[in-house]
Structure 1
Amino acid sequence: CSSASDTDPATPSTTSAAARSSAASEEKNKELVLRLYSEAFNKNKTDVVKELVATDYVQHDKAVPGGADGQVKQFKDVQAKIPGAVATVKHVAADGDLVAVHWHASATPENEETGQAKADLFRVDNGKLVEHWGITQTVPAKTASGNSLFSDVYRYPNGEPSLSEEQEEKNRKFAVEAYRKLSDGDATVIDKSWDPRYYQHNPAVPNGTAPLKQFFQQNTQGAPSPSSTGGGGTRFGNTLADGDLVWVFSSDYVV
């Protein structure tokens, strides 16, 4: 999952390999965060937010104050914009002290062509939420690929594998490095690191690597390259891996 965030693009993830190693603690962090959606959002239990959020909770949405009140406000703003909204978690990942959640906010959750697609990233410390980043996208009625913003399309020939923490970390490094090369202007990395069947959930791009190349070239044409400007392109914030998914929270910028 790749998405832009309003984190400081110059600040990379500081999560160490050691911090990523405890599967048990990651599951606890995941369970804690999911209570925000199942209880706080869907059951309007604002006391749950106050239970889970630390007093020094950092909110990276500049329009929202920090602390539990800011998180409550974010949820209420969504519910005001989408009356009857239900939070349906589509994907969740825990890696080290980070938990990422991809969810659908809609009054008709069975219809994935309605409402908003949202991605949240939380940092957890000592059983409390201490930091949050988020991004929202209005769900389009139609996508170029025919895939929804939420559906899992790929199917393993021999069933989904069970991955070790070590393999997840290898996957994270592989995906981040490939994405970094692409963002730096190296379109040839698509041939090396992307499967030709590549399934696309960006609503503007069809499936496959050829449309991805075309989309990349159209959106980078005329933009200064990092080598020519000393900046420009994509800066990476936090990245994490859980199961067969790698999440990259990044900021696109030109200087």
Structure 2
Amino acid sequence: MSESSEAARNKQLAVHGFTQFAAGDIDVLRTLLHEDFIEHSPGNPSGREAFITFITEAPVARARLDLKRVIADDDHVVMHYHMATDDDPRGIAVVDIWRLDNGQIVEHWDVVQPVPEAAQVPHGMF
């Protein structure tokens, strides 16, 4: 089954935004996030400007982000990636769920999990 045109468009927007953000362009969030962006992750603020201020100081802004897979279904895009730093090379496995409307992200959920030693995950985290 192929993606709908809405899913394909939203997937392209999310991947482009992720790629720009991973390259250090935090300003891409100003056009990608809706002004009334809703954040569902505990401790993270809602609203575009509040979220951008928060994320600028968060570890993700200085981490290496390695996108592993992207799944799109109409107005939702799911991204699975590896986030690592020099201080934590094993890093964290992240799944972000984005809901888009009219070319902007309007909601976000995530699930994060520390990457254990390889011996604990014989089939790999990614």
TM interval, short-chain normalised: 0.7 to 0.9
Question: Which structure 1 segments of 5+ residues have no match?
Answer: 1-20, 151-255
**2, 7, 25: which one pairs with 1:45?**
25
**63, 72, 75: which one pairs with 2:43?**
63
Is residue 74 of structure 2 the alignment partner of residue 93 of structure 1? no
Q: Could you list the runs of 4 or more consecutive aligned residues of structure 1 that deviate by over 4 angstroms after TM superposition?
A: none
C-alpha deviation, 1:130, in angstroms:
0.3
Q: In the alignment, is the contact (CA less than 8 A) between 2:26 and 2:56 conserved in 1?
A: no
- CA distance in 2 between partners of 1:45 and 1:24 (Å): 27
Question: Which structure 2 segments of 5+ residues have no match?
Answer: none
Q: In the alignment, is the contact (CA less than 8 A) between 1:49 and 1:72 conserved in 2?
A: no
Q: Give the TM-score of the pair, scaled to structure 2.
A: 0.84
Q: Normalized per residue, which structure has more strand?
A: 2
**112, 118, 121: which one pairs with 1:142?**
118
C-alpha deviation, 1:74, in angstroms:
3.4
Q: Give the TM-score of the pair, scaled to structure 1.
A: 0.44
Specify whether residues 72 and 115 from structure 1 end up closer, same or farther in structure 2 by C-alpha distance, changes over 3 A only. farther
C-alpha deviation, 1:23, in angstroms:
1.7
Structure of higher CA gyration radius = 1
Q: RMSD across aligned C-alpha pairs, in angstroms? A: 2.2
- CA distance in 2 between partners of 1:72 and 1:92 (Å): 26
What amino acid is aligned across from residue 126 of structure 1 in structure 2?
Answer: N
**55, 70, 73: which one pairs with 1:74?**
55
C-alpha deviation, 1:35, in angstroms:
2.5
Specify whether residues 102 and 75 from structure 1 end up closer, same or farther in structure 2 by C-alpha distance, changes over 3 A only. farther
- CA distance in 1 between partners of 2:71 and 2:125 (Å): 17
**122, 131, 138: which one pairs with 2:98?**
122
C-alpha deviation, 1:64, in angstroms:
1.1
- CA distance in 1 between partners of 2:53 and 2:18 (Å): 11
What amino acid is aligned across from residue 14 of structure 2 in structure 1?
Answer: V
Paired residues, number: 122
